[in-house]
Structure 1
Amino acid sequence: MPNFHDFETFDKDLKVKCPYAQDCGGCQLLERPYKDQIEGKKAELLQLLKGANIPLPADIKALSAGASHLRDRLDFSLQDGRLGLYRKDRHEVLDIEVCAQLSPELQSWLTDFRQIQWPFKKGSFRLRIAPHGRRGVWIDLANIDIKTLLDEQNILKKLQAQAFVEIGQRRKVPVWTGAEFKLRDPEHHTWFQSWVGEVPVDLYCQVASFTQPSHKANKLICDVIASWVQKAPSSRVIEFGSGIGNLTFPALSEADSLLACEIDDLSLQGLEHSLNQLPPSLAHLKNRVQIYRGDFQKKLTQDFSDFDLILANPPRSGLMNFLNPLKELSLPQRPEFFIYMSCFPESMTRDLVTLNECDYQIQELYILDQFPQTSHYEVLTLLQRKKA
């Protein structure tokens, strides 16, 4: 598995060039050499955890898939004919033709997408490149503009010749009847990929679904999760915030059973679809999974004493009341291991305080830099409860 020493391969003075560096608000750290960016993120996390008096491991490790060109998913805004990100100095969209954050395939898709002349003043778009190269676009406009787009017809026809199209907050799919466009219910397709060891697992979802931004960086995440679940052999796992199953599958590679907990119906439908479409060599994993739907930030009906490991990838708000049942158990009843993944270290820190009060201590801590040149980063934490 990659480790911190991977950064020794980076030129310490490496900087990514961008023609919009002075104006674009998307990247905050372009002026800093890449290794300095990593050290700065580690120092920020260290200060946050020390400020909360959380006992720390010997070091914070770091993983990266590269300093640029990682993203296979792009969210851009449209404003008065300009397509891009908001400027640093004012709430105005900066027109962007090229972006060093994008994979070559996604950059090519953006270049083609920009040829379309949109008859609307504002809107937002998500562009995707699937693991197998398929293009997708999610169009989010005001309802009146969606109707105009459907009636106009030509733009949608041109887009559908290039990509799979979804429209609106409900992720509807436009279908040409021969005379007009009608909107059909959301469809599940392979827009992302998880891993069981070196075997890729297609994840079914929508273009608009939440996923990690990079196929390449996500492989590193899956490797870390699998290695940590391996520390609890024959484990019974409960996963909070399973989504479409990105962490579910690497965990399943090592676990005896897994209860996947999620509130979003479309995500759970995607997970079920992915389980049903597993390659023959992994088909047996389906029998290890149970799926449970509910708002686990508010109330959890499961008994944590039935599990050996908790796997959590919560939203920005953190775990909230999810941890309450843990407090009610005696030390021997609590699961031995807790894996916590977060892109919002502030809420994660609050939860780590609670976990520390429940006698969990950090064993390993990683920063995964899948947002190079920005102030954002992913944190992966392995905790183990004290011995009874």
Structure 2
Amino acid sequence: MAELFEKFDLDRVEPRGRRLLRLLGGSVILHLALLSLIIFVPSLRAAFQITNTLSNISFVDEAYQETVIGERATMLTFSNSDGKFRYPDGYFSGGDAFLEASLPPPPSPDDPILIAQVRPTPLPIIKPTPKPAPSPSPTATPTPAATASPEAALAQNNQPATGVQTAAGANASPTPEQKIEVELEKQAAEAGAKKFPQINKKPFTDWLEKAKAMKDAGDIDLDGTLEMTLEGDRQSDGTLTNVDITGESASNPKLRDLVLELVKALSASRVLGALPEDAKHLKLAVTVNQQAVDARVMTEVASPDSATQFANGYSLLLAAARMKKAGREEEAIFNGVKISAEGKQINLSFNMPRDQATDMLKKQLPAAPAS
């Protein structure tokens, strides 16, 4: 036993208080350095402001109004019975004669000339109305309040609290989550940012039901490779218009209709409200093969600084979401998302193995009713 304590000297052991003091000092210095970076580095400060704003994102499942999507199209109407286009009669015979025939006839000098005159509006006659003299109001005499008996007071105390009292008691002490939400909204308002809208999941679940019904009916085949590109203009309310669909799978009218339904779901869910206000044009490319599901979203903003600021803020938000959803099913979604900026363009990509994506989509569908 003596050999264990040969190299152990009590005089050389550093006191525990000194070590704790050093650790505390190092922690204070590290936090002050991080705070200085946030205050004096504009890009980092802006990224934290965006992160605070987007921290209020929430998801709901509520009824919605279906959005009407306008496509780019050229309409040709043939009014002839044989379906052939013909110029109007006399189109090539004479330009002056055709123009004179289309103009209205000149006015005749014998026609009467009517001059419209405005009748002056009569001034209203104001008649004085007598006002009643104020009468003295009677003085209210206080009446003694009825005092309940001890039995009645005891019975009243034993009664259960009403809904109003319960709500008042619940609102008396806000939860820590409510305090954090109020503080985040305050910081976002001071930074001049608006609150992030709620994302409605119901349009996507409805779209999944339509896709499953079309697949079960044999209208579409989702077992092969799908490749489609969607491009459209983003409105101020987050909806898409002037939608143009291209790609190898766009030739299938059933798949094209299904993609248009997906565009309606994107608009109704308010998920496009996450993009900056100056993002006016959007391009979405989707590729689904036997190995993976790959989706890319590209849009341009007003300046490269705005694109970099947006990408940095969302990257921080994704990192926080990965930590918060660790061990859950949603972690795979956040792990597959990547955001970057290239000049004025914002690039958002998503990649996930096809089998894993299929299993997650099946869980989102409502359970079939028992027969």
TM normalised by structure 1 equals 0.21
Greater per-residue helix proportion: 2
Higher strand share: 1
Higher relative contact order (CA 8 A, sep 6+): 2
Between structure 1 and structure 2, the one with the greater Rg is 2
